[in-house]
Structure 1
Amino acid sequence: MVTTPSDSKSTGPIPESLKDHQDLLDKLDRYASTVLCNEDDALRQSQLLRLYADEVGCPINERTAAILLTKAQGEIAGVCVPRMRGERMDTTPTPWAWEGVIMSGTFNLLVAPPKVGKSALMVGMISAWFHGEESYLGQRLHGPCPKVFIIGTDQPENDWHTLFKREGLIDRDGNMAGPIEMLWHTGAPLHLTPEGIDHLGKVAELNPGSLFLLDSYHSTIAPLGIDEATSAFDGPARKLAEVLAPHKATLAMIHHTNKSVSGGNATNASRGSNALPAAASLTILMNWFKQPLEGQTQSDHRVVLKTQGRAKGTTLLIELQDDGWIHHGDGDSVLAAESRQEASDQLQGRQADVFDYISERWLLGEFPVAGTEVSANFNLDSSKCSRCLRGLARKGLIEECGQTEVGPDGGRPSSLYRPAGVSPSGTPQTPQTPQTTRASYERRGLGRLGGSEPSDQGGGFTAPVPGTPVELNRGGSWSNGWVVSDATNPNAIRAAKLGSPSVTIGNLRWDLDVRLCQSSPFKAESTNPSDLFDF
């Protein structure tokens, strides 16, 4: 016979032993609440509960004690009232202290390898803020600079003095000045013990809206003996954030990365348990832009700064010099350009040749390249040509920038390509077709211009003879003052400047980059007609 849980629960008397065990566990629950109400030290709370469990004959381990204490904490705190359907939600925008990098009134975690400039960056920002700068490293500073309290247990006092002096936070007598109200350092440390956290809470209460810089997390919790790999690693950080939050204090906490970090994000790079970055509202990762090879020294001192969290992300490329930090611009664009360069360096064979051709065409005059042109120049059928172009696009090296227009002779439009990451300086060009026959010009009513003695090259293209007046497409507009120098290849025509035959431009495509003159071949200034053929 199958017995259901409800049947087994309702049959038979409850054993006395089970009642005794339930009473014993209830005692542990009640005692956990008593411990929390009478002891603030988290370590002593666990020890007191375990000692009581030994006395009543029910020994427990540290993990079980932590679970019982957490359960008791929930019963004491109760359940918060939730936001109910139909109630208006808080739509206050994210407050920033330093736009995109440091959020105001919450917990920010700055993660970076040793000696990359974490402390210097924060001190530089504080100095710029205090001295009334509207922005720092291209990012806006919001409101007046608040009072600053530095828990700098990771560095000796003379190192902090060096940073303060460089940023103008030391007066003429060598005294600490500016917005910095208090500094704890290696010689006079403050640790995140219950007493230390309580003291910082009282400081925040007396100075609402202040900025607390903690450098570093490891140095402030070292005496607590907390294993970095455990979920309890974030405990002191969470408690500090809790005591600062009611007073709208901003917490910027510095932490070290693990040894294997090479890019990525702050959550993965953070040393120890991921519980610490999970506790922060915003994480900031600083790392070298280019890592040196093993055994080599750091020669490129540029640093990439990335943010990740409950607000918009920011990427900066910065560098620490003798007189402070400088800004090299938007980090995303630099990283993308670096990635494209690495991808192009690894190209081989046909893809390398096609990419070089597209790049050269763009450098020549911002000329996009049609797929049909690639097919004709490299003798590729449409399938191989499309595969090659798609491969370059997947690698982020080229991008589509439009299509050719259907000419008078009909045909399907072809996609136009240019190197990725570039932007045209003028109006984007929209050429007609890769090649347009001379008959097309005549059908448009342009007729044959003097100086041209056409010679048939086959394929529908009639090559103009040297000296034929032409116009060049420069930045989206056609300009005259040029003559044909060599037109043996319709995709590599060379034109010479009118009156200056030594000034030439090559690799021009007929009807895309160069065309027959639509008006007088001469510029406004007077030019000797004999110069037309002076080659």
Structure 2
Amino acid sequence: MVSGAWLDAQVFPELEWQVEGILPEGFGLLVAPPKAGKSWMVAGIGLACASGGFAFGKIPVKPRPVLYLALEDGHRRLQSRFRTLMEGNRIPADIHLVTQAQPFEVPSMIDEFIGIHTGAKPLVILDTLGKVKPPKSAGQESYSADYAIGSRLKSVIDSEPGASLVAVHHTRKAESVDFVDAVSGTQGIAGSADYVLVLSRKRKETAAVLAVTGRDVPENEYALTMDDGKWLLDGMDLLDAAAAVERRRDSASLGDRSMDVLAHVAANGATTPADIASKFGMDNKVASNLLSRLHESGRIAKPKRGTYDRISTGGESGESGESDE
């Protein structure tokens, strides 16, 4: 037991990021459906951290030792994957690989690795969590079994400040509104983790979204693209990638003409139906309806009758229900 005075007097180090904004210290999960590219993603992160390069093509990372427990791959497949990701450069020496291990051996392996690299804030990748989950004991509840393995891994990685362990896991078959509920198994697995990353990608598409949440992590979603196995941030930085998610949603919910009009207003500011009609070769009434719907959905502002503008340049007036005909 400690007192409030003791707690108030403490000075704690800042949260350590393996990949800024996405992968913090502690125990976490990367979750996605089968064949969505999870192994390619963690391989790219591991190689970037081992060499001190760029994760997701844009985020600079510090060099650190990496333990990659690739328990579903062999050395030949890993070599091919790594060479593709390294684009002709040598595989960094500071990524260490284990391809075979019994479930009960893995926590000890991780403990020994971080003990060897004390102070270096290592990254450990476990691909996959299912390979180390022990069978449930007779009479044991599923929740307690899931929480037990998560807590065991968390306690190991928490013994080294600044270290991170990300375990690859799969999603449930049933869809869920809350992306954390997509984690397969009971809530014991997600509940034991410090952070959860959920990767969503439709089959045969290169675009994806990485949702991030955690105890000490700002919750957000980032747009990604996949190019020949390489996961890249869809934007100049995290802020731009987060905005790209919204742009994609707008594109999915709006027609092509509405997207063109929205882009025009965003680029040019104050706009009238006549401007849109002239720009895109449409009837004034059609242009008025498009602008009105964009305003009613909160995507553009209407500072005065007959004029629309970017949201950031002015508040909406009380005339939103009026017609421009």
Provide the TM-score with structure 1 as the length reference: 0.47
Alpha-carbon distance in 1 for matches of 2:71, 2:143: 23
Shift in CA distance, 231/170, structure 1 to aligned 2, threshold 3 Å: farther
From the CA coordinates, give the structure whose radius of gyration is larger: 1
1:206 aligns with 2:107: no
1:98 aligns with 2:19: yes
Counterpart of 1:301 in structure 2 is: 206
The offset of 1:91, in angstroms, is 5.3
Alpha-carbon distance in 1 for matches of 2:223, 2:183: 20
Contact 1:270 1:277 in 2 (8 A): yes
> Which amino acid is 2:18 matched to?
A
Alpha-carbon distance in 1 for matches of 2:64, 2:260: 56
Which of 243, 249, 256 is matched with 2:156 structurally? Answer: 243
SS at match of 1:87: helix
Alpha-carbon distance in 1 for matches of 2:84, 2:33: 22
1:287 aligns with 2:189: no
Which of 188, 207, 232 is matched with 2:145 structurally? Answer: 232
Contact 2:147 2:189 in 1 (8 A): yes
Which of 363, 368, 387 is matched with 2:271 structurally? Answer: 368
Task: Describe how 1:134-283 pairs up with structure 2 within 5 A.
Answer: 136-141=56-61, 143=62, 145-168=63-86, 178-181=93-96, 183-185=97-99, 188-191=100-103, 193=104, 196-208=106-118, 209-223=121-135, 229-248=142-161, 249-261=163-175, 264-265=178-179, 267-283=180-196
Alpha-carbon distance in 2 for matches of 1:344, 1:147: 46
Counterpart of 1:47 in structure 2 is: none
The offset of 1:190, in angstroms, is 3.4
Contact 1:359 1:418 in 2 (8 A): no
**Overall identity of the aligned pairs, in %:** 19
The offset of 1:360, in angstroms, is 9.7
The offset of 1:229, in angstroms, is 4.3
Contact 2:46 2:123 in 1 (8 A): no
Deviation per CA, 1:441-470: give whole Å up to 9, x if none.
Answer: xxxxxxxxxxxxxxxxxxxxxxxxxxxxxx
The offset of 1:233, in angstroms, is 0.6
The offset of 1:84, in angstroms, is 3.5
Contact 1:100 1:313 in 2 (8 A): no
SS at match of 1:272: coil
Which of 221, 232, 235 is matched with 1:315 structurally? Answer: 221
Deviation per CA, 1:382-416: give whole Å up to 9, x if none.
Answer: xxx9xx94x644534x321634xxxxxxxxxx484
The offset of 1:110, in angstroms, is 0.9
Shift in CA distance, 170/130, structure 1 to aligned 2, threshold 3 Å: farther
> Which amino acid is 1:278 matched to?
G
Deviation per CA, 1:106-161: give whole Å up to 9, x if none.
Answer: 112111111111121122122233333255432231x3x22211222233343323
Q: Which has the higher contact order (CA 8 A, sep 6+)?
A: 2
Shift in CA distance, 169/202, structure 1 to aligned 2, threshold 3 Å: farther
- Structure 2 gaps of 5+ residues are 274-283, 315-323
- What CA RMSD, in Å, does the superposition of the two structures yield over aligned residues? 4.1
Deviation per CA, 1:283-305: give whole Å up to 9, x if none.
Answer: 111111xx3xxxxxx33222211
Deviation per CA, 1:455-494: give whole Å up to 9, x if none.
Answer: xxxxxxxxxxxxxxxxxxxxxxxxxxxxxxxxxxxx99xx
Alpha-carbon distance in 2 for matches of 1:324, 1:86: 44
Alpha-carbon distance in 2 for matches of 1:363, 1:233: 48
> Which amino acid is 1:203 matched to?
F
Counterpart of 2:279 in structure 1 is: none
